[in-house]
């Protein structure tokens, strides 16, 4: 079994970006600038945003967080987004999800200028991605592709089973892997799939993105499968300083020896997501400079 080390693979991507930023700065230009909008104080969201900002600083980007209160109105949020859309010194921005219930997430995502949509969630970018045109690819699927590439895992003609059909992971990674140059045969499964094991047992590669700790068991997979575990669930753990630990969708301890490659949680897909958000921001900067 080979561990797909997301920390290592992410560091490789970040080193390349840092070199590019250093050369940009040497030319006397300003570095890329990513802004994160954080609404409320959801613990996981605060951690994610802080991790993203720290990563920006590590590669030499400018970055800032706009913190808005939990009870911010949708209009106020849309006004902030409009300001960012029009500010030429901001190359990309993200609105950390989930948003409070009184805010319509779709309307918010639609209001983001697709050229600054570093998360790649805008329908224009999703549509372009689905058509195989140049676009911002959502960071998590992009990170999975980068991990498969760095570890030279062949996908052409392989049986890929994706579990979970979210707009940000399951759907886009299914579309991407079925396209050139990945050329996989993809099955997208979800909560209404009958007899899931019939599919997972035949899979050469399984991508689990459901958010149910330890869901994928050893008896559901064949020997030699490649497993990408996207799940991140906080599970109470009094022995940990934080009071919780992070658990993936895969029953890692019982599954790992049956696999040829597997991502750990944490330290697998999570760090890749951050690296690819930086890559999207750098791409947004390059586009912005051309305008
Ligand atoms: P989601 O939470 O929006 O949806 C869950 C999906 O799982 C749904 O499509 C549902 O149909 C499917 N599902 C639920 N129960 C199922 C079952 N019994 N069998 C088959 N499918 C089932 O999905 P999401 O936003 O992609 O999040 C999934 C997990 O991935 C969460 O734990 C989330 O925290 C994590 N995540 C991690 C990263 C990362 O960077 N590592 C990024 C995004 C999401």
Cβ atoms of residues 47 and 37 within 8 Å:
no
The answer, yes or no, to whether any atom of ligand 1 lies below 6 A from the CB of 263, is no
Query: pLDDT tens digit string along 171-217?
Result: 999 999 999 999 999 999 999 999 999 999 999 999 999 999 999 99
SS3 67: strand
The verdict on whether 96 is a catalytic residue reads yes
SS3 158: coil
pLDDT over 90 at 16, yes or no:
yes
CA 213 to chain centre: 18
Looking at residue 207, its pLDDT comes to 99
Q: Report pTM.
A: 0.97
Q: For ligand 1, atom 40, which residue shows the shortest CA distance? A: 270
Query: pLDDT tens digit string along 89-147?
Result: 999 999 999 999 999 999 999 999 999 999 999 999 999 999 999 999 999 999 999 99
Which candidate in 14, 52, 229, 279 is catalytic?
Answer: 52
The CA-to-CA distance between both ends of the chain, in Å, stands at 47
Q: Which atom of ligand 1 is nearest to the CA of 269?
A: 41
What domains can be seen in the chain, in order of their start residue?
28-113 (3.40.50.10860), 139-270 (3.40.50.720)
The answer, yes or no, to whether any atom of ligand 1 lies below 6 A from the CB of 210, is yes
Both structure tokens of 169: 């992971």
Residue 169: φ, ψ to 5°: -130, -70
DSSP states of 221-269 as a string?
A: S-TTEEEEE---EEEE-TTSTTSEEEE-SB-HHHHGGGEEEE--SSSSH
Residue 10: φ, ψ to 5°: -65, -40
Radius of gyration of the chain (CA): 19
The verdict on whether 223 is a catalytic residue reads no
């Amino acid at each position: 079994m080979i561990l797909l080390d997301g920390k290592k693979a992410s560091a490789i991507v970040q080193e390349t970006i840092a070199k590019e930023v250093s050369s940009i700065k040497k030319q006397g230009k300003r570095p890329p600038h990513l802004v994160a909008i954080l609404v409320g104080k959801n613990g996981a969201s605060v951690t994610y945003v802080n991790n993203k900002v720290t990563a920006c600083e590590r590669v030499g980007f400018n970055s800032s967080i706009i913190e808005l209160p939990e009870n911010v109105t949708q209009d106020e949020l849309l006004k902030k987004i409009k300001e960012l859309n029009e500010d030429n010194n901001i190359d990309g921005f993200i609105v950390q999800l989930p948003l409070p219930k009184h805010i319509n997430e779709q309307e918010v995502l639609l209001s983001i200028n697709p050229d600054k949509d570093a998360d790649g969630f805008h329908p224009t970018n999703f549509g372009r991605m689905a058509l195989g045109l140049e676009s911002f690819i959502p960071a998590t699927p992009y990170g999975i592709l980068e991990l498969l590439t760095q570890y030279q895992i062949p996908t052409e003609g392989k049986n890929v089973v994706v579990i979970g059909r979210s707009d940000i992971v399951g759907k886009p990674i299914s579309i991407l892997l079925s396209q050139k140059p990945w050329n996989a045969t993809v099955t997208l499964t979800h909560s209404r799939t009958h007899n899931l094991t019939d599919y997972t047992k035949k899979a050469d590669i399984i991508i689990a993105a459901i958010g149910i700790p330890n869901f994928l068991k050893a008896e559901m997979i064949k020997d030699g499968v490649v497993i990408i575990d996207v799940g991140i669930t906080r599970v109470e753990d009094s022995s940990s300083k934080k009071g919780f630990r992070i658990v993936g969708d895969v029953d890692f301890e019982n599954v790992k020896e049956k696999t040829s490659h597997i991502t750990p949680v944490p330290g697998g897909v999570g760090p890749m997501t951050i690296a690819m958000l930086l890559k999207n921001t750098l791409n947004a900067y390059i586009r912005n400079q051309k305008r």
